[in-house]
Amino acid sequence: MDHGNAPTPAENRAMNDAIERALSARHQSGKAGIAASILCEGQSIATAENEVQLHSDPTQHAEMVAITRAAAALGTTDLSGCVMISTLQPCEMCLAAMRFAGITRVIFAATQERVAGKYFVFPHLNLRDFQKGGDFVAIGGVGEDRVLYLYATGKE
C-alpha cells in the first residue's frame, strides 16, 4: 500500500458514498455489503455493489460490476486515468481486471490483513505483486473502521 499518497477530496467523498452504499446493501436481500465506484477526472462515472448472490455469478464483485458500467459509460474498455474506490481491498480477480482496464489507482477501506480469508483465494499473491511492472498506486485503510465488521467473518 502507498501510505505517502493521500486520497484527493473527490476520492474521499466517493469513499464516504461507497461506505454508505455498502452499509445499506448489507441489509438488502442478495447483496453483500461491498460497494465500489469509478472516478474519471474526479467525477463518479460508475457505482456498484456486490451482485454475486443476486445473479448467482461469482464474477459479479462490486469492482467488476463498476468496471463494466464505467466502460459502458465511456464507450471504451480503456479506463486509463480512472480511479477505483472500494470498501474492501480488491481481490486478485478484481485487481487483474483493473490492470487489464488500465486503472492504475485504487483507494480502499478494509485491508486484506484485517478481513476474513474467504475474500482472497490466492493468499500467496498480494497487492505488491499487482504493482510490479508498472505504475500502480494502492491506498488502503481509508475509512476501514467504519466497515471492518462487515468483512470480519466472511458471512454476508
What is residue 31's predicted lDDT score, i.e. its pLDDT?
A: 59
What is residue 27's predicted lDDT score, i.e. its pLDDT?
A: 73
Cite the DSSP H helix spans in 38-113.
52-55, 62-74, 92-101
What is residue 80's predicted lDDT score, i.e. its pLDDT?
A: 97
What is residue 3's predicted lDDT score, i.e. its pLDDT?
A: 47
Lowest mean pLDDT among 57-66, 115-124, 139-148: 115-124
**What's this model's pTM, rounded to 2 decimal places?**
0.93
- Across residues 30-51, what is the average pLDDT? 91
Residue 16 has pLDDT above 80, yes or no: yes
Lowest mean pLDDT among 18-32, 48-62, 91-105, 107-121: 18-32
List, in sequence order, every beta strand (DSSP E) within 92-149.
105-110, 137-139
Positive or negative CA dihedral for 100, 7, 155, 113? positive
Residue 44 has pLDDT above 80, yes or no: yes
Q: How far is CA 114 from CA 47, 152, 156, in A?
A: 24, 7, 16
Pairing of strands 82-88, 35-40: antiparallel
What CATH fold (topology level) applies to the domain 9-145?
Cytidine Deaminase; domain 2 (3.40.140)
* Average of per-residue pLDDT values in the chain: 91
Active site residues: 63
Q: What's the CA angle centered on 127, arms 124 and 128, to 5 degrees?
A: 90
Alpha-carbon span 23 to 33, nearest angstrom:
6
Segment of 7-11, 20-24, 27-31 carrying the highest mean pLDDT: 7-11
- Across residues 92-105, what is the average pLDDT? 96
pLDDT digits (tens, 9 = 90+) for 128-148: 888 887 789 999 999 999 999
What is residue 129's predicted lDDT score, i.e. its pLDDT?
A: 87
